[in-house]
Amino acid sequence: MTDQAIGYGPLFSVLAHPRRRALVVLLAIAPEGSLDLATAAHVLAVLEDGSGVSTKQVRNVRTSLKRSHQAPLQTADIVEYGTSRLERGPRFGAAVRAIAHAAEKPQTQQ
C-alpha cells in the first residue's frame, strides 16, 4: 500500500505527540533498524528529563510506550512491536520524511 493510498492525514495525527516523533527519530538512527524497548525507554527518559533519570522514570516511559503509543504507531504501520523489540514498519520512511519536512524552516514569501 502506498503513502498516497493511505493518506498523510492519519500519519500526521499519529506523529502529533512529541514522544512518538522522538521514538521514530531514535529508531531511524538505531543500528540495523531495530531497538530494544528498554533502551528506547531509557534514551527517551534522558531526552525528556536530563541525564540523571531514575529507574522509576524509565519504567514510566516504558509503560507509556506500551499503553499509549504502541497501538497508534503499530496501526499506522510506522513501528512494529515485538515482545521487547521495536522495528521499522512499512510506513516508517514516510513518517521520517514527514518529521523532516515539518522540521524545515518555513520559507517566507516576498
Q: Which CATH number is 43's domain given?
A: 1.10.10
Q: Do 94 and 14 form a contact (C-beta atoms < 8 A)? A: no
pLDDT of residue 5: 47
pLDDT of residue 8: 65
Assigned domain for 2 exists? no
Assigned domain for 74 exists? yes
Assigned domain for 76 exists? yes
Assigned domain for 108 exists? no
Instruction: Specify the number of domains making up the chain.
Output: 1
Assigned domain for 73 exists? yes
- Please list the ranges in the chain whose pLDDT falls under 70: 1-8, 105-110
pTM of the model: 0.84
Structural domain boundaries, residue 56 = 9-103
pLDDT of residue 3: 41
Query: What distance in Å separates the CA atoms of residue 104 and residue 110, rounded to the nearest whole number?
Result: 18
Assigned domain for 110 exists? no
Q: 3-class SS at 86?
A: strand
Query: What distance in Å separates the CA atoms of residue 95 and residue 80, rounded to the nearest whole number?
Result: 13
